[in-house]
Amino acid sequence: MFDPVEIRKHFPIYERFQRENIVYLDNAATTQKPKEVIDAIVNYYENSNSNVHRGVYRIGEEATDLYNKSRENIAGFTGGKPEGTIFVRNATEALNLAANSLTRMIGKKFEVLVSRMEHHSNIVPWQIASDTFGIRLKMMESNIDRPLSWGDIERNITKDTRIVSLTHVSNLLGTINDLREIGKNLHERGIYFIVDAAQSVPHMPVNFRDLNCDLMAFSGHKMLGPSGIGVLQGTPEILEDMPPYMGGGEMIKEVFEDHFIAADIPEKFEAGTPNIEGAIGLSAAVNFLKNLRMESIRQHEKDLIAYTLEKEDELNIPSLISYGPRDPEVRGGIYSFNMRKNVESERPFGNEVHPHDISHLADRIEGVEVRSGHHCAMPQTVSLGVYATARASFYIYNTREDVDHLFDAIEKIGKRMIK
């Protein structure tokens, strides 16, 4: 049985949360770390610390073995191949690598299509590629109440489109996009498909091959792992053709005075000493998630978001506005909302309690920790008619009681701030 209260016992920080009555609901930003992950990192430093792929002495071989086995484990978790699993700092670095290297590989002017639902890390790298290499970036509108469909993409691709890059799950609205059909149709048209899986890999079963994509990005810290480690997963075919992104040690076979020969994948994309303890910690996080089963995690979060939306309907708080699909089948555990100061006024901008005030007060009044701001998704936030929202986001250790505390906080803030 999936039991969030039992799961909490693995998280040392929950001792503090219990002492101080903290309800942590900012998991889309980052997740807490179980003891298993912390121990794996400490154990590596206490017993096997060495650089990898260098020394042929005992500890060096042990560290290399731990690093390689971590890669195999993480690759298998999302259905990819070890050589197609590149370690980077985070999803942001993965998407920068993809945008830069793939654009140089294609080598001529073309169009790249993204949606308005994207996190800045799937927008700005393309804007930089556009400034640097002259490609055209097109951002298509996305409906705030439903997932993207193949029809949306079909209407927006042109004969010049060579890349489509989309988020799997919106970090602002929680929308789950069904990307399989989109990927299949793009491949039939010879268009490369990139998936930002930062908000899906931690929360549901994700299989790289099922998505029919070429490249996929995710971050370790959003899935119980340490910060500073993330993954760009790709088909070996595309990664072999893509030029290196950064130069230095580890990523070469040979270096001459005027040129170099790149290493094979994955090392070709891993210049310099890697984040060894990060890979080991992320592998321990993957084991923790595998033990819980990704299907059960998705089911648990679906239950929490369904409960949240039902409770919102039931309480019918006049000042509260929330965003995103209402169907839990296409909605992850993310709840973005605002509170109107003057419930009589329809004026969208300037009529909200500032989400920073909501975040501050929710913590002070009820110990509820939610994020506020544009959540690095400004185009989508502004499309809601606001500059910022408050956002609660759930994970494996959250309960229906946590949702009750969230609404207690919202009701209390309403009484204090709303006319």
Ligand X SMILES: Cc1ncc(COP(=O)(O)O)c(C=O)c1O
Q: Which residues are catalytic?
A: 376
Nearer to ligand X (CB atom), residue 31 or residue 70: 31
Minimum distance of ligand X from residue 97's CB (angstroms) = 12
Is the peptide bond preceding residue 266 cis, with omega within 30 degrees of 0?
yes
Nearer to ligand X (CB atom), residue 48 or residue 96: 96
329 Cβ neighbours under 8 A, 6+ residues apart? 302
Q: At which residue do the structure tokens 């930062």 appear? A: 198
Nearer to ligand X (CB atom), residue 232 or residue 263: 232
Q: At which residue do the structure tokens 């006319």 appear? A: 419
Minimum distance of ligand X from residue 90's CB (angstroms) = 3
Nearer to ligand X (CB atom), residue 214 or residue 366: 214
Cα→Cα distances 345→14, 130, 324, 341, 350, Å: 41, 41, 22, 9, 11
Q: At which residue do the structure tokens 């506020």 appear? A: 372
Nearer to ligand X (CB atom), residue 110 or residue 394: 394
DSSP per-residue string spanning 12-66: THHHHHHHHT-EE-BTTT-----HHHHHHHHHIIIII---SSS--SHHHHHHHHH
**Taking Cα atoms as reference points, which of 384, 296, 366, 283 lies closest to residue 71?**
283
Minimum distance of ligand X from residue 198's CB (angstroms) = 4
Minimum distance of ligand X from residue 222's CB (angstroms) = 6
Radius of gyration from C-alpha coordinates of the chain: 22
> H/E element holding 334?
strand 334-339
8: phi then psi, degrees, rounded to nearest 5: -55, -30
Minimum distance of ligand X from residue 122's CB (angstroms) = 6
Nearer to ligand X (CB atom), residue 144 or residue 198: 198
Nearer to ligand X (CB atom), residue 222 or residue 405: 222
Residues that bind ligand X (CB under 6 A): 28, 90-92, 119, 121, 167, 171, 196, 198-199, 219, 376
Q: Count of CB atoms within 10 A of residue 261's CB?
A: 9
Look at the alpha carbons of 46, 48, 91, 247 in this order and tell me if their dihedral is positive or negative: positive
Minimum distance of ligand X from residue 167's CB (angstroms) = 5
Beta bridge partners of 320: 339
Look at the alpha carbons of 247, 249, 253, 256 in this order and tell me if their dihedral is positive or negative: positive
Minimum distance of ligand X from residue 355's CB (angstroms) = 16
Question: What CA–CA distance (Å, rounded) separates 23 from 350?
Answer: 29
Question: What CA–CA distance (Å, rounded) separates 201 from 79?
Answer: 11
Q: Is 340 exposed, middle or buried (0-12, 13-18, 19+ CB in 10 A)?
A: buried
